[in-house]
Structure 1
């Protein structure tokens, strides 16, 4: 019998999420926030946004990110899932964008060790039209 994967070792009420906070798509400027003990059965999209925005607003090292209006979350990958070629966001699967702030994270398919991108929707749409990276 195979060992369980790490995403199934924690209950949905005690998940760890990595949120990629994207300042610039063009320059691939992002920092990650790792949130522990997230209850995916009760936390909403709005609640996840608030938790990350609190980190950005209060923790040191985030000052350059405080000028961006972060408003959109999108699933990047689930644990042990395929990753995209783009290093900070998947440009396909716009159906993975979390449109409803009242949606519960579990109902959106999040599980332990999922990765989510957090960004400004207007900048994302602009980058999708011309996905040129200026810094490699």
Structure 2
């Protein structure tokens, strides 16, 4: 055995009031334009998905390296994967379980309020990967998931 069973998983070391989240900012589904941004020190027990979306929008609008990502309206947050969990075969986004995994959506055709429960109440844990994207672009890509180069 090459590992210590007494050693805790890294995802369980940090408390839910000081968690690390990876935000996958998706500009284009067909062209696979995705930029990861790490959000340290997120309080999962007091932050709602709506507040998280607003924070990510602020980060996009104020971070120089994210300048090319500013021309998209980001209105949806969806869980991509949890720590030590399985990932989707699709490198851009997981198409499964929209009903359970979409935490907030501000699109006119698919409004899902993200203000009543906290991220912790919705099952988000330390080291969870969350995708932030435009719902309309996601629906179009889901109809015909053809990647372009």
TM-score tier by shorter-chain length is: over 0.9
- Looking at CA atoms only, which structure, 1 or 2, has the larger radius of gyration? 2
- Equivalent of residue 143 in structure 2, options 123, 129, 132: 129
Instruction: Name segments (4+ residues, structure 1) moved above 6 Å.
Output: none
Q: Report SS of the residue matched to 2:114.
A: coil
1:97 aligns with 2:102: yes
Alignment deviations for residues 20-50 of structure 1 (CA, whole Å, 9 cap, x no partner): 0000000000111100000000001111111
Runs of 5+ unmatched residues, structure 1:
none
Give 1:69's aligned residue. Answer: 73
Instruction: State the distance in 2 between where 1:2 and 1:124 align.
Output: 42
What is the root-mean-square deviation in Å for CA atoms of aligned residues? 1.0
What is the TM-score when the length of structure 1 is the normalising length? 0.95
- 1: CA distance, partners of 2:124 / 2:7: 21
Shift of 1:88: 2.0
1:113 to 127, 135, 139: 127
1:90 CA displacement: 0.4
**Structure 2 stretches of 5 or more lacking a match?**
104-111
